[in-house]
Chains A and B, each alone.
Chain A
Amino acid sequence: MLAIKNLHAEINGTPIIKGMNLTINPGEIHAIMGPNGSGKSTLAKIIAGHPDYQVTEGSIEYEVNFKKINLLELQPEERAREGIFLAFQYPVEIPGVNTSVFLRAAFNAICRHQGAEEMDPIEFDEYLKSKMKFLDMDEKCLNRPVNVDFSGGEKKRNEILQMAVLNPRLAVLDETDSGLDIDSLRVVADGVNRLKRKDNAILVITHYQRLLNYIVPDFVHILIDGKIVRSEGKELALKVEEKGYDWLAQ
């Protein structure tokens, strides 16, 4: 589904990703862990197409519905329409824009691209509420401006709600656990798990092993200084929790 080959990327001339390889297949959950500044969030933003990062070498190939796409050639919105979703570490506030209006605009933009039927406000309202049920969110959030005056926990839930609504093929969760108390963490993780299917994949970026107790990965990758230094099964996360990263950095 996603093949990252020898990826090098920089921001304002400073190299961050320095030769990274990663393959993700449908049905898999991958976790990327690593110390601060190792390039985890940069990777998430590059996959989503953030304009501040320049890829200097390597490729990202994305395969969806039997077609292979050079992801780096697409605008962020085109990537989203092809089924890529980024749950932001710091969700952005959009003052004055009603959350449900925004969600419907996004949902319909993706439907249009994929040739699916768009929804009118009434249909969408029902659809939205069905997705909200298991996220334990207050319905009032829908009539508030996007992320404005949301608590940290509400913002993260709102990200997962968007994921549920937009139904991506590849979801990248960038430190979705940061700032969540244990109850919220469970709710959010449970929400993500319900969205797991055989034909989609999830890439979880996190600092802490804690989240991986709830969203259990098939593979754990350790990213240090812009490179993956080790890839193993879920038990690697426990080792890192115990021993830190130093033993992995030669």
Chain B
Amino acid sequence: MTKTPQQEELASREYKYGFVTDIETEAFPRGLSEAIVALISERKQEPAWMRDWRLKAYRHWTTMTEPHWPNFHYGPIDYQALAYYSAPKKKTDGPKNLDEVDKELLETFERLGIPLTEQKRLTGVAVDAVFDSVSVATTHQSELAKQGIIFCSMTEAISHHPELVKKYLGSVVPSTDNFFAALNSAVFSDGSFCYIPKGVRCPLELSTYFRINSADSGQFERTLIVAEDDSYVSYLEGCTAPSRDKNQLHAAVVELIALNNAEIKYSTVQNWYPGDKEGKGGIYNFVTKRGKCIGVNSKISWTQVEAGAAITWKYPSVILQGDNSIGKFYSVALTNNRMQADTGTKMIHIGKNTKSTIISKGISTDHSNNNYRGLVKILPSADGARNFSQCDSMLVGNNCSANTFPYIEVKNPTAVMEHEASTSKISAEQVFYLKSRGLDMEESVSLIINGFCKEVFKELPLEFSVEAVKLLEMKLEGSVG
């Protein structure tokens, strides 16, 4: 069937966040060495223990090789051709408050829909904005501090709360964990740190917005969230980058720690630049995200909408150590053009009566390749563990592919496991049916996709869920018909 002009127009709709901010930056020479790692640490005025931690990670990294087990095809990455630090040049010694933040930067975030200025702030959401390698602003800090909540950039946390950072950094994802985690540990430049004290229910959604701007640098941020006994926090993460012809590397690490009865909800809408139709350019997204339910009755849930990046390699996981702890993973991964995604989760059951739920929805269109890869591991100690997994794939068009790789290791006979999987297609008949009721193409596709992703979207905070739906609609409009 031929496409209508309207569909053609929609298909070529550009990546909305592809603009570049013209701002003076300080970047390091390309390449990676002990000297560069030490220089990053020095530039950030870090204490010696932090520098040594980085160097240890770097030395280990040099002994490792890039993993090639995911279902990807891409050329070699030259790690010596990247710059490992890029920061907007500061006019003063660093912004003391938002009034001192560069106007260009504020405008950039405004364009991205993340207003940082006092008057225009998002209600109910505190934002940490990370531009290239550094955090440029964190809102609502004083309000949160009244309840003892710490929400600041990683750099600030290292200097102001070293005892907490020392205790928890690398405790869930050790610096030697994997190739990309080791690289991140050596060169991470900033990120967010949250600490929720005992018994506090964080009144705001905490949020970090990551923006890669410069052309040659990678982004390596590190997020650490600690929820003390009986606390609760909901955390949101968003990402975008300019459209560029060359591939850029993003290798982040996120660690979550939930103590007794604590709950952490972590939501991501990832919309990195995915490259153009032919697969030129785009972000390589190699991310290690892991949470540890240390305490009894603790709960960690990951909700992700992965709609961007040329390559996504990401398995947000939960280690269920405390008895009765609960891990959840809700994911929508959409790939179009030539995007490749290999994403899923790991649920490691250690404590008794631990429960995990995995709901994964993959949507592939055009020539993209979408893989779910998940591990459920029940250790001998995990009496009464339960897992429910559901992996659904939807194909749009005939040139895309979807795969599911479930790994299950059960070492305790009392475990109960359920696994469901399905593959479906958006059919022209569904679209025609909805159109014949008065809904246009856009509305029809949106309804169908919403229906398919319903179980995941309902886990997202409201504003994010609206944004996620719009994002998927935009990406899919040209592909259905």
A interface list, Cβ under 8 A from B: 48-52, 75-77, 79-81, 85-86, 88, 91-97, 101-102, 105-107, 109-110, 113, 145, 162, 166
A94 touches B432 (CB 8 A): no
**Cα(A49)–Cα(B433), bound, Å:** 10
**In the complex, what distance in Å separates the CA atom of A48 from the CA atom of B450?**
25
Q: Which residues of A contact B429 (CB under 8 A)?
A: 92
A101 to B439, CA, bound (A): 12
Please report the number of residue pairs spanning A and B whose Cβ atoms sit closer than 8 angstroms. 81
- Report whether A95 and B451 are in contact in the complex, using a CB–CB cutoff of 8 Å: yes
In the complex, chain A residues whose CB is within 8 Å of the CB of B454: 96
Could you tell me the distance between the alpha carbons of A24 and B428 in the complex, rounded to whole angstroms?
A: 29
Contact residues, B411-448 vs A (CB, 8 A):
424, 427-430, 432-441, 443, 447-448
Chain A residues with CB below 8 A from B452, complex form: 95-96
Question: What is the bound-complex CA distance between A210 and B305, given in angstroms?
Answer: 52
Chain B residues with a Cβ closer than 8 Å to the other chain, count: 25
CB nearest to B6 among chain A residues: A75
Question: Chain B nearest CB: distance from A195 CB in Å?
Answer: 16
Contacts of B451 in A (CB 8 A): 94-97, 145
Check A109–B443 contact: CB distance below 8 A.
Answer: yes
Which of chain A's residues have a CB closer than 8 A to the CB of B1?
51-52
- Say whether B434 contacts A166, CB under 8 Å: no
Q: Looking at the complex, which one of B436, B440, B447, B453 makes contact with A102 (CB distance below 8 Å)?
A: B447
**Complex Cα–Cα for A86 and B432 (A):** 11
- Cross-chain contact B447 with A80 (CB below 8 angstroms): no
Q: Taking the nearest CB of chain B, how far is it from the CB of A8, in angstroms?
A: 20
Rounded to whole Å, the gap between the CB of A90 and the closest CB of chain B is 9
> Complex Cα distance A26/B390, Å?
51
Binding site for A on B (CB under 8 A): 1, 424, 427-430, 432-441, 443, 447-448, 450-455
A169 CA to B447 CA, complexed, in Å: 26
Min CB distance B466 to A, Å, is: 15
Q: How far is the CA of A50 from the CA of B440 in the complex (A)?
A: 14
Partner of B433, one of A81, A91, A145: A91
Inside 8 A of A96's CB, which chain B residues have their CB?
Answer: 450-455
Chain B residues, CB < 8 A from A106: 434, 437-439
Instruction: Considering the complex, give the chain B residue whose CB is closest to the CB of A87.
Output: B436
Across-interface contacts of B428 in A (CB, < 8 A): 51-52
Contact B438 A88 (CB under 8 A): no
Tell me, in angstroms, the Cα distance from A145 to B447 when the chains sit together. 11
B447-A77 in contact (CB<8A)? no
Minimum-distance CB pairs A-B, first 10 = A96-B451, A97-B451, A80-B438, A106-B437, A92-B433, A76-B435, A109-B438, A110-B438, A77-B435, A96-B454
How far is B443's CA from A113's CA once the two chains are assembled, in angstroms? 14
